Amino acid sequence: MIKSIRSKQIFLIGAIVLLVAFLFTRDIKGLVKPKENPGAAAPAGAQMAPTATAAINLDEVSTTGKNLLSASLSAEITSLEQAFKSAPENQKVSAAKLLAQKWDDVEQAVPSALYLEVIADKEPTLNNWLLTGEKFMKAFDNTRDSLLQPALLQKANAAYTNAVAIDSTSADAKTGLGITIVNGMGAPMQGIAMLMDVVKKDPENLKANMSLGTFAIKSGQFDKAITRFNKIIEIKPSPDAYFYLGTAQENLGNNEAAIDAYLKSKKLAGNATLSKFIDDKVKALKNKN
């Protein structure tokens, strides 16, 4: 029974990733990692061995990224990189900021995160480390490179650890750190406890609530996920919150409730690709009734 639910869950979330991940935040992409594949990254909740983490080479990442861009954009970034490398020490941060923004503009999270890390190393403020951690987590969620994923998660964890060291009361820092821990950088319950502490002090913290909801889905605790996403919707309705709610309801066999949530997700998103996916899903669920 449990195996059947797990298989259904993985198939469902895989379909979401392929069709509508671009609509939502990193949570959709990070919902369920591939299982039982020796060459794949560790699944969420499984601790990653630091010794197995490969270093990220900025030059290689840059080359890969520029290969996906037009010749003019690639040349522009190369020019900025040369300026960064030749800049005197007191101008490195300004040059790194230009590169971080440019890579972000072309939706390349990995090199953008690496330059944000340069900035945070040189100007270690709470905000700089939070920006770095957030960008590394975005890169972690977006990539399917099984060698790169652990390194990105480790860097996100280090960034949020530095942020917590600067301000141990920061909800953003604790939430980010908790997310990295649950995803593999420590004992999952330690990360869950950190997120629960954030929610206890700030019940309407959307990021912490969303993370707890998605982790509930990953662990098959669909009833808890429903409670969590209903709370999120009370605070701020969104397409992804309704979609997750539909996912949890569907996994519990609550087809009518799932259909209602999916249709609300469709209405709020207003996206043709998602609409087609949801229309097909609603039709399939209605045929089960």
Domain ranges of the chain: 1-32+207-289, 42-202
Average predicted confidence (pLDDT) for the chain? 85
Residues contacting 253, CB < 8 A, separation 6+: none
In the CATH hierarchy, which fold is given to the domain comprising 42-202?
Answer: 1.25.40
Domain 1-32+207-289 in this protein, CATH class: mainly alpha
Residues sharing a CB contact under 8 Å with residue 131, sequence separation 6 or more, in sequence order? 116, 120
Q: 3-state DSSP call for residue 253?
A: coil
Length of the chain: 289
- Helix 148-166 to helix 109-122 angle, to the nearest 10 degrees? 30
Q: What's the mean pLDDT in 221-242?
A: 96
Closest CA to 181 of 46, 8, 28: 46
Residue of 52 and 71 predicted with greater confidence: 71
pLDDT in tens, 61-83: 999 999 999 999 999 999 999 99
| 1-32+207-289 and 42-202 in the same fold | yes
Q: Give the Cα separation of 277 and 55 in Å (integer).
A: 38
Q: Give the pLDDT score at 78.
A: 98
Least confident of 9-18, 76-85, 146-155, 202-211: 9-18
Report the sign of the C-alpha dihedral through residues 53, 9, 224, 276, in that order: positive
- Mean pLDDT within 101-105: 98
- Amino acid at position 160, single letter: Y
Q: Judge residue 256's burial from the number of C-beta atoms within 10 Å of its C-beta, 0-12 exposed, 13-18 middle, 19 or more buried.
A: exposed
Residue-wise pLDDT for 249-289, tens only, equals: 999 999 999 999 999 999 999 888 889 999 999 999 998 86
Query: In angstroms, rounded to a whole number, what is the distance separating the alpha carbons of residues 190 and 192?
Result: 5
